[in-house]
Amino acid sequence: MATEESFLLDVREVRQETADAVSVVFEVPAEHEETFAFKPGQFLTLGVPSDQTGLVARCYSICVPPGEPLTVMVKRTVDGYASNWINDKLVVGDSVRVLPPAGIFTPKSLDADLLLWAGGSGITPVLSILRTALAQGTGKVVLFYANRDQDSVIFGDQLRTLAAEHPERLQVVHWLESVQGLPSQEQLRAFAAAYADRTSFCCGPAPFMKLVSDALRSLDFPRDRRHQEKFVSLGGNPFGDVEEVLAAQATLAEADDADEADEAPAAPAFAGPVAVEVELDGTHYAFDDWDGKEPLLVFLEGKGVPAPFSCREGECSACACMLLEGDVAMDRNEVLEAEDLADGIRLSCQARPLTEKLRITYNG
């Protein structure tokens, strides 16, 4: 059923959402339910069969709240091999190799008042957050949802139903480029100004997220209330059995604009042994023999710790952990920014020791 780290899941349903987007529902066997438990806003890494490379790794966001059958939404991208394969070829009963849910684009509190932004297929993780907040939280939610035209709107019926069911808590504002043109930073700022005390989550194309980010900054939204999820390329192969993996477009968690990304710090030179304490899903682990020759993620896996990961290349953030004590340097960092680093977030797949003691948590 499972390779060393990935799992073969059966496709239970393929739902056409728009002309170029489908939702894929997976069957999760009872023995793997815990492994595939997810938080709102997280993503899955799928292995899509390819004649050229054997397998292509792609990350797709989960579009449902926890407790519902595991479902991702996949929109075709121009010349995107995997997204077109999934839209054209995947059928009920097929099996797909899948890595467990990962990502840090998830609210800390479901009771917070939320300001949600989605551009096109960026609605996917945002819908998961929105539905979870409405079902399990107490706060108010406003969604600004930008699309090219009416036919591009994904989950439109679902949003209408939710807005009708929660008139006091949910407001959905559609923006259609075909009608209103591209939104400007000033327009987004004017919209956000009424919600300046809320926690913002944004997912969509890079230019859209930049506009939103600039608008929020101009309103002095503090860092801990601004969250973004961006599209990056995976260069590595998280499934471990294919020589080469095509560049993957992934929906991956992060916290701000790519153009502000810091260079990765140089690899450290602290010769262990390092004492490592880890909190993960309510379990506490302690070791005293990390020598730093292998990244923290590999060390933990060798100890049997089910630490999250996807790309293993410092390109996603699936492996992100938070420092509680001590520090690490990273061989490579393509996703975390200066503010993330200042918050103590590190990529465990790239982490090498800087101190003789390290305490981290994956519990966010």
Residues that bind ligand FES (CB under 6 A): 309-312, 314-319, 347, 349
Closer residue to ligand FES (CB): 133 or 335: 335
Closer residue to ligand FES (CB): 229 or 315: 315
Question: How many CB atoms are closer than 10 A to CB 173?
Answer: 11
Residues with Cβ < 8 Å from 160, sequence gap 6 or more? Answer: 172
Distance CA 308, CA 317 (A): 9
Least Å from the CB of residue 72 to ligand FES? 18
Distance of CA 283 to the CA centre of its chain: 23
Strands 141-147 and 170-176: parallel
Residues with Cβ < 8 Å from 76, sequence gap 6 or more? Answer: 20, 21, 83, 84, 87
Least Å from the CB of residue 297 to ligand FES? 7
Tokens representing 307? Answer: 């630490």
Distance CA 319, CA 324 (A): 16
Distance CA 7, CA 10 (A): 10
DSSP bridge partners of 119: 146
Closer residue to ligand FES (CB): 103 or 122: 103
Least Å from the CB of residue 53 to ligand FES? 19
Closer residue to ligand FES (CB): 246 or 319: 319
Least Å from the CB of residue 125 to ligand FES? 16
Closer residue to ligand FES (CB): 90 or 318: 318
Least Å from the CB of residue 11 to ligand FES? 25
Least Å from the CB of residue 252 to ligand FES? 8
Distance CA 288, CA 352 (A): 15
Least Å from the CB of residue 318 to ligand FES? 5
Orientation of helix 123-136 relative to helix 156-165, angle to 10°: 20
Picking from 139, 143, 122, the residue whose alpha carbon sits closest to that of residue 43 is 122
Closer residue to ligand FES (CB): 159 or 276: 276
Closer residue to ligand FES (CB): 39 or 140: 39
